[in-house]
Amino acid sequence: MTHRNRQVSLHDRLGAFPREQYLLCMATVLLVEDDHVVRGAMLRSLADRGHAVHAVGTALEALRRVAAETPDLVVLDLGLPDLDGSDALRMLRGITDVPIIIATARDDEQSVVRLLRAGADDYMVKPFTGAHLDARIATVLRRAGRASRSAPPAVHEVGELRVDLGERSASLGEQALALTRKEFDLLAYLAARPGRVVSRRELLEEVWRQPSVGEDQTIDVHLYWLRRKLGESAAKPRYLRTVRGVGFRLVAPD
């Protein structure tokens, strides 16, 4: 089989789709797949269904793309050349909450459960058709949209600190806080639980979406900068209090 014939065969297997049946609401999809033949066929199939598709071949490229411009959804292959897909999933979850569909040849239940718990929204075993992938994308986006519409974005206030989840903004009194993406996520998580002690393990799993092993420095660095922006320090805390040996809590100043 020639390379050209192989491309046609894969495209046919992914399925044709009449142009007059394009989706009315086009989604921006980031496709992360290292096999250029499969990537090309999936890209064409999704584009034929009305999606705007950006395709990359490595985990590093995917992280850069998501950090620069957030897509509506990510389709992530696990067999990447520079990083295991499960590690890439955890890193992506560290910087974005967009839906992620895993596409892989692995089909054992243990792998599926581990990846879903690590933050995947859905899981597809290769080979699959373009129609199947498109249906999964529509379902995941519909589910994500329904969840986001179920309640208005929350605004949390602790003392003079105000955290607006909808606007992804925070202010202290009349002063807007210039926070990084992860600093905001950390502050928002604590602000949603005022007065409650949150453990390092919980922060790693819920904010960073990472295993709770050997990552204490990550939390400490973000807390250091967050405290500076709140005008306090670990030695003289106001809002961010450390409960030694247990975790952290956000409280209104005395």
pLDDT of the residue at 146: 54
pLDDT of the residue at 153: 61
Q: What is the DSSP string of 26-45?
A: --EEEEE-S-HHHHHHHHHH
Same domain? 203 vs 245: yes
pTM given for the model: 0.55
pLDDT of the residue at 212: 53
Report the sign of the C-alpha dihedral through residues 103, 109, 112, 115, in that order: negative
Residue 203 phi/psi, 5-degree rounding, is -65, -45
Domain that holds residue 94: 3-149
User: How many structural domains comprise the chain?
Assistant: 2
Same domain? 11 vs 90: yes
Same domain? 160 vs 103: no
Same domain? 53 vs 162: no
pLDDT of the residue at 118: 82
Q: 132: part of which helix (H) or strand (E)?
A: helix 130-149
pLDDT of the residue at 233: 92
Q: What is the mean pLDDT of each run of 10 residues along the chain (254 residues)?
A: 36 38 61 89 85 90 86 90 86 86 83 83 87 88 64 81 91 94 91 91 78 67 94 94 91 90
